[in-house]
A and B are shown apart, each in its own frame.
Chain A
Amino acid sequence: MSAPPLVVEGLEVRAGRAGPAVVRGVSLTVPAGGCLALVGESGSGKSVTALAALGRLPPGLVRTGGRVALLGRNPAALPERALRALLAEGTGFVPQDPLAALDPLHPVADQIVAPRCPDGWGRLNEALSAVLGSRRPGRAERRRVAAALLERMGLRDAEARAGAFPHAFSGGMRQRALIAAATRHAPALVVADEPTTALDAAVERQVLTLLREAAAEAGAGLLLVSHDLGLVAWFADRVAVMREGRIVEEGETEAVFRAPREAYTRALLGASPALRVRRVAPRPPPGGRVLLSVEGVSRRYGGVAALTGATLSVQEGEFLAVVGESGSGKSTLGRLMLGLEAPDEGRVLFAGEDLARLRPAALRRLRAEMQPVFQDPLSSLDPRWSVGRSVAEPLRVAGLRGWPSEREAVAALLERVGLGGMERRRPSELSGGQRQRVAIARALAPRPRLIVADEAVSALDVTTQGRVMALLAAFRREGGAVVFVTHDLRLAAEEADRVAVVEAGRIVELGPPDAVLGAPSHPYTQRLVGALLPPRFPLPATLSEEVPS
């Protein structure tokens, strides 16, 4: 066994030299050929630890203590050029967001075979070596190598795709291309920072398996940063659980799972979507009246059909999950349900009114009854507006709707979502989870009968997801209907009365979750369900009885 590629001892990182500590005395070792998973909620310091290990802390963060040995060298003591060479030859990095990590202006092949140096000196070097007998492979050579790499990552038509631009790749394909890039030069250490957060369940498992295999093939140590303990259980030899900048528990994966010592580890296990089992007993379909009905609706964007002949209805007090991959047309369906877009064909009826035929003023009055929650809470709140003002906006439009006063309404709503007294904050001063709770308070303000949540928890970490789901569940208990648009089958199965599966603009399956997910009849649903990971280890008895608060 060769020396471990990464050893960290007593690492301390602060926000500014005298600022608060973000990482407080973290020690870890990534063995050659092994996989260590660093697990914790967002803000626990796990990504910062990984970046500090690579000598690439973002501006504002300073390493104030501890020892890092990256392939035997201290990255902080190396001059920039030497560090760059060390990182380029000895390490591979798989980033969180495959969309942002590829330059849209260059073919994928060029980016994974010969990544460009971003600075002027790098370009000059490149130009010089091109003149003096190139070390950079030629175009045909790059394409050939890229095709071979992509093929190994299980991409079909690798030959043809290698020359394509990033926009022609789906999220999963992009992430596979990035894994190919990170492992092509047989690095000694691969660091993957939440490599599957942006992907759906079907792709998540493939990508992690590929990552693990590619690292093992290269004999590389793998540092896997993730918030999902249940997921890493499948891939990591050892697990280190981080909280508030400290490692609170570390050990062999199986040992941590079978007998988690820390309450925090148990909480993380309980919150893991990969381990979550359906805890809510299946409810009989609510026999209420139909609130919203979508009848044979089609919508095209510039000749491309986003939705074709969709028909479904939502009953009062029902929780309907709309499941599908990105690009399947599920968000379009959500917007049509809210009357934010008009269908090209078919009708959308809310409480018997055809939304497309209502006059603008009548439609605006009806909007208080149906409220949206969007995926990205930062962009769905006006950055200039205070939280209180954003929550009150629907009331300004629709009147008080039973609230004694606007101020009391805002206070009560913020209290309800656990943000009491935060009226005067701006969105930029809140965390992602807090922003999404503001968005929900705003949606609840006019006491609507329907909330359409479009990927409302996809951008949140698991513990925050739980809180947001609980708020939606509470709204449903009070008689409201929820349409929950998501790519996450597990979330859909947990709360929904019925599940609609959308593929390529068509509703391919619709029914109670037990029927749809228990015995999927459509090949697409079967693929989605097949990708769900069963728990690798039996959970401690105490855990499976816990119910998320």
Chain B
Amino acid sequence: MRRPSAATVLVVLVLGGVLAAPSLLPPGAAAMDPARALLPPSAGAPFGTDVLGRDYLARVLAAGRPGLLIAAGTTLLAALVGIPLGVLAGAAGGRTDLVVMRVLEVGFAVPPLVLAIAVLGVTGPSAAALVLALAASYAPLLARVARAATLARMGELYVLAARAAGERPWRIVALHVLPNTAGTLVTQTALVFSYALLAEASLSFLGLGTQPANPSWGRLLTEAIPLTTVAPWLGIFPGAALVLVVVAVNLRADAWGDALDPRLARGGRP
């Protein structure tokens, strides 16, 4: 068993902390206490307290959940739609390729945030609508990458050799093409997760994402603005949490992507 990398530890700690926050923290942690308002970080309250005297560590942890769930949902949906379409376009080529890619390229015409704002403007704030809008923007991105990776694999001699052995086209894709593109796709999918997390934070920051009862990192940042000089920790901790998750997820995905490449996994050139 190898030693887990720093990225793995970070991902487990942050995700575990966020998801388990409500049960981990002492029951009174989220309670308001005006007498303890805006205390700087200390041993008793490592992240300090907010305007209403709530423990800020508890707030930051609880605020991670909506963003992470929306980012995860978006990534899952974008990958489930984008990757199969991209692989199909790359493997089938010709007219299929043309039609699929032209349709997907419509998605590139609208920036993700603009599309999300437009959709949320119609539906009102809704996690499902947000996931749909963001996934619609990121699916073409994954499709492009999947298509390019598939095209490269389709040109490999071992694919020609599989054709010469009489393998069916769909089996060639499943046995030779997909496993050999997995590394690239994992890395790109992790990137989409980061994009989606940042997009959700941006929208919440603008007041379009998660609504007041449900805190999110973006909202915490908005609320921290007027207090920047008085209580800088209110902005620093949610901001740092965002950066940490993005970096950790990408590092982890890079390592995973490399591990899926047999040439890199063995630590040497062929």
Which residues does A use to contact B, with CB under 8 Å?
Answer: 338, 340, 363-368, 370-372, 374, 376, 378-384, 393-394, 397-398, 426-429, 439, 442, 446
Contacts and interface: CB of A to CB of B under 8 A. Distances in A.
Contacts of A374: 157, 160-161
A207 B157 CA distance: 31
Q: Which of A372, A376, A382, A439 has the most CB of B within 10 A?
A: A382
A363 B163 CA distance: 10
Contacts of A381: 158, 161
Q: Which of B157, B160, B167, B266 has the most CB of A within 10 A?
A: B157
Contacts of A439: 161
B166 interface: yes
A376 B161 CA distance: 11
B1 interface: no
Given A338-B164, A383-B180, A426-B266, 6 more contacts: A372-B161, A374-B157, A374-B161, A382-B180, A397-B166, A397-B167
Interface in B159-192: 160-168, 175-176, 179-180
A429 B266 CA distance: 9
Interface string B173-217: 001100110000000000000000000000000000000000000
Contacts of A364: 166-168
B166 A383 contact: no
B156 interface: yes
Given A380-B158, A382-B158, A398 B166 contact: yes
Interface in B126-178: 156-158, 160-168, 175-176
A426 B165 CA distance: 19
B164 A379 contact: no
A499 to B, nearest CB: 24
Contact of B166 (A365, A376, A380): A365
Interface in B247-270: 262-263, 266, 268, 270
A380 B270 contact: no
Given A376-B157, A381-B158, A383-B180, A367 B165 contact: yes
B262 A383 contact: yes
Interface of B: 156-158, 160-168, 175-176, 179-180, 262-263, 266, 268, 270
Contacts of B163: 340, 367
Contacts of B175: 382
Contacts of B270: 378, 383, 427-428
B263 to A, nearest CB: 6
A380 B262 contact: no
Contacts of B165: 367, 371, 393-394, 397-398, 442, 446
Contacts of B168: 364
Q: Which of B158, B176, B266 has the most CB of A within 10 A?
A: B158
Contact of A428 (B156, B157, B176, B263): B263
A-B complex: 8 closest residue pairs judged by Cβ atoms: A367-B166, A428-B270, A380-B157, A364-B166, A394-B165, A379-B157, A397-B166, A382-B158
13 contacts: A340-B160, A367-B163, A368-B166, A379-B156, A382-B158, A383-B158, A383-B180, A383-B262, A383-B270, A393-B167, A397-B166, A426-B266, A427-B270
Contacts of A376: 157
Given A379-B156, A379-B157, A428 B266 contact: yes
Contacts of B162: 382, 393
Contacts of B164: 338, 340, 367, 370-372
A449 B195 CA distance: 55
Nearest to A452: B164
A370 B161 CA distance: 12
Nearest to A367: B166
A382 B176 contact: yes
Q: Which of A366, A376, A383, A427 has the most CB of B within 10 A?
A: A383
B167 A384 contact: no
A393 B196 CA distance: 41
B17 to A, nearest CB: 36
Nearest to A369: B166
Nearest to B169: A360
Nearest to B153: A382
Nearest to A374: B157
Contacts of A397: 165-167
B161 A384 contact: no
A398 B166 CA distance: 8
Contact of A380 (B161, B167, B180, B266): B161
Nearest to B176: A382
Contacts of A383: 158, 180, 262-263, 270
A141 to B, nearest CB: 40
Given A378-B270, A427-B270, A394 B166 contact: yes
A340 B176 CA distance: 18
A451 to B, nearest CB: 11
A74 B190 CA distance: 50
Nearest to A370: B164
A376 B162 CA distance: 15
Contacts of A370: 164
A383 B160 CA distance: 14
Contacts of B262: 383-384, 426, 428
Q: Which of A366, A384, A428 has the most CB of B within 10 A?
A: A384
B158 A379 contact: yes
B122 to A, nearest CB: 46
Nearest to A393: B165
A383 B159 CA distance: 11
Contacts of A366: 166
A374 B160 CA distance: 10
Q: Which of B164, B263, B268, B270 has the most CB of A within 10 A?
A: B164
Contacts of A368: 166
A383 B264 CA distance: 11
A461 B126 CA distance: 67
A427 B166 CA distance: 21
A388 to B, nearest CB: 15
B166 A384 contact: no
B179 A384 contact: yes
Contacts of A363: 166
B201 to A, nearest CB: 38
A196 to B, nearest CB: 24
A379 B159 CA distance: 9
B20 to A, nearest CB: 37
Contacts of B160: 340, 372, 374, 380
